Amino acid sequence: MVITSLAPSHKNKENQHKAIQSWRMHDTKIVSVNHISEINELKNEYDVEFIEPDRTGWGIFGRHYVPASELLKVIRKEGSGLIINSDIIIKDLPKFGNNPVIFNRHDFIDTMDKSILFRSGFDAFYLRSEHCNLPETNLCLGQCHWDYWLPIMLMQNGFSIERPVDAYIFHKKHELQYSMLNWEKTSTIFSQETGIKGSNQSISQKAFSHITSRLINI
């Protein structure tokens, strides 16, 4: 099962369509978690299963971004799944075991044959239900730092996280869709929720170093 939160106003909507096409190649159930106001718009364009979250990031961001913990609820119910950003193309997937698995994407402009590893963030997580008993978060897909929060929380709960070294997921580059103001907001939220302190820049650096030093490359 693939779980995401489709963006109704994605600046590069065709990237979402191509991503979903690649997910279907793996004969998997596709679930998108969205506020009801977005579902009414998205269901006419995307043939996926939609689920309403219990809450969104409206009060923080002024839009119905979905907290990462809302996607964890889907995995707890279904048993296992791959949380993924909505415009990420899956070329292949490894065989999953009992550990959580984290993926770095490979960025490209024209063709995936000429892609570059994106090292400073993560775009997909394979999790089983037993990995998902984590705290609620206000960090949302479509904004920053949720991809640091999730592995930090998993590690704080004693899980070892595997990271494939081969290229499995790809992303066509586009303009940033978040503002520096929101980046600062999410940095503050991340610090409050994880206990990692410092300036906004140092918080991200500390988190990234903490995560990557503990990953098991496979």
pLDDT in tens, 61-112: 999 999 999 999 999 999 999 999 999 999 999 999 999 999 999 998 878 8
pLDDT at 142: 92
Is the pLDDT at 11 greater than 90? The verdict is no
What value, to the nearest 5°, has the Cα angle with vertex 13 and ends 8 and 15? 130
For 134-170, how does the pLDDT look when each residue is reduced to its tens digit (9 = 90+)? 999 999 999 999 999 999 999 999 999 999 999 999 9
- Closest C-alpha among 67, 37, 63 to residue 53: 67
| 27 confidence band (pLDDT: 50, 70, 90) | confident
pLDDT at 113: 82
The whole-model pTM stands at: 0.94
pLDDT at 65: 97
| 179 confidence band (pLDDT: 50, 70, 90) | confident
User: Which string of DSSP letters, residue by residue, matches 21-66?
Assistant: HHHHTTT--EEEE--HHHHHHHTTT--SEEE--S--SHHHHSS-PP
Is the pLDDT at 9 greater than 80? The verdict is no
pLDDT at 13: 84
| 177 confidence band (pLDDT: 50, 70, 90) | low
Element (H, E) at 182: helix 180-194
What is d(CA 184, CA 181) in angstroms, rounded to the nearest whole number?
A: 5
